[in-house]
Structure 1
Amino acid sequence: MMDTGLGDINAHFKVYIANRPNFADFQTTQRVVPLGRGELEAIGKTCGNGWRKVFNVYAKVLFALNCEHLVSVHEATTWQEFRDKYLLQATSNTSLLFSPPELTNNDIHIVMGKAYAKSLGLSLEWINDDFAISPKAKLIVCPYFDYRQLSNIKIVTLVELIRQQSGHHNTTKHL
């Protein structure tokens, strides 16, 4: 099965979401579509505040992660700059996938939302009510990318789990 979603087709940092934005042909696409500059903003304006929050939290996670071996923040000075200039673009090493995870490589896999993770039937070790891991698969389940569900404090936890799963330890950038 081929990945379906937004971003870099060769991404090694993959986030999985249960729904798709109602934008362009994203409801029917069966491939990974890289976004161009300004498209994240257009999706947020067209599809609502929920999608804007998903993109914002995704950028905040990667900016806080600050790990060039996983995803380069491209000299961005803020998470907003990273989001607007690099997130989900062709060579960003990031993707937001609508297809279930294929756990066959050394990619970092993040499944957004406990309910979605449970529906996938994954073998998981729950760390607490919010986070689970599958260490052999480099898979992490976290709260949905929304400010209330994945607060800045929980972003720090997610960043630490990503570092543990990847074996990379850089310093966290402040949000």
Structure 2
Amino acid sequence: MRLPDCLGAPYPRLALYLPHRPNDLAQLLDAPSASALIAANSNHWRKIVTLLAKIASPVADDWRNFRDQALFQQTALCFAPQLSDTAAWHWIGGKDNLQRFANLHHNAQPLPNSPEVLIDPEKQLLLTPYPDYRQLSNALVAQIRTVLDDEGFYRT
């Protein structure tokens, strides 16, 4: 059985690209949920889906409810090294992961005071360190949200 390249919404507002798949991916396909993904995997995946929720949640302070109720109705985790044709915004997490996207041409520019995070509004591309609390602090998440808000992400 060939596992799919994405888990979550078929037309996500935000797709997070990662270099590896979670455990029990096949069982998550019919009804993807953050709680099921976390239960079948490690704390590492809890951090990933929490950071995805913190960035994608339409209301910043409601990220927990968004993660638990709507995360995979509006976002997707993608594992192949090519951008999905169906995603509105693309988030590639990690420098090593970015290297897998050999043919990706972009004009991403660093955020002010955060050279490790780059954004290309034209291609709707967000490049960050790997989604982990040590590399993506709450302050950095807030800065990313501000830039995405400026680009209309939360109004669509």
Bucket of the pairwise TM-score, normalised by the shorter protein: 0.7 to 0.9
1:107 Cα offset (Å): 1.3
Q: Which runs of no fewer than 5 residues in structure 2 stay unpaired? A: none
CA deviation after TM superposition for structure 1 residue 106, in Å: 7.5
Q: Is the 8 A contact 1:17 1:96 kept in 2?
A: yes
Counterpart pick for 1:87 among 66, 71, 91: 71
Identity of aligned residues (%): 27
- What's 1:149 paired with? 135
Q: Is the 8 A contact 1:12 1:107 kept in 2?
A: yes
| Aligned position for 1:137 | 123
Shift of 1:111: 0.8
Offset at 1:148?
Answer: 1.0
TM-score where L is the length of structure 2:
0.77
Superposition deviation, residue 168 in structure 1: 5.0
Letter in 2 for 1:52: R
What is the total number of aligned residue pairs between the two structures?
147
Q: Is 1:49 the counterpart of 2:33 in the alignment?
A: no
In terms of fraction of residues, the more helix-rich structure is 2
Shift of 1:103: 6.5
Quote the offset at 1:100 in angstroms.
2.8
Paired residues for 1:63-142 under 5 Å: 63=57, 65-66=58-59, 78-88=62-72, 92-102=73-83, 107-121=88-102, 122-124=104-106, 125-127=108-110, 128-142=114-128
Q: How high is the TM-score relative to the length of structure 1?
A: 0.69
Structure 1 portions without partners, runs of 5+: 27-31, 67-72, 171-175
TM-superposed CA distance for 1:81, in Å, is: 1.5
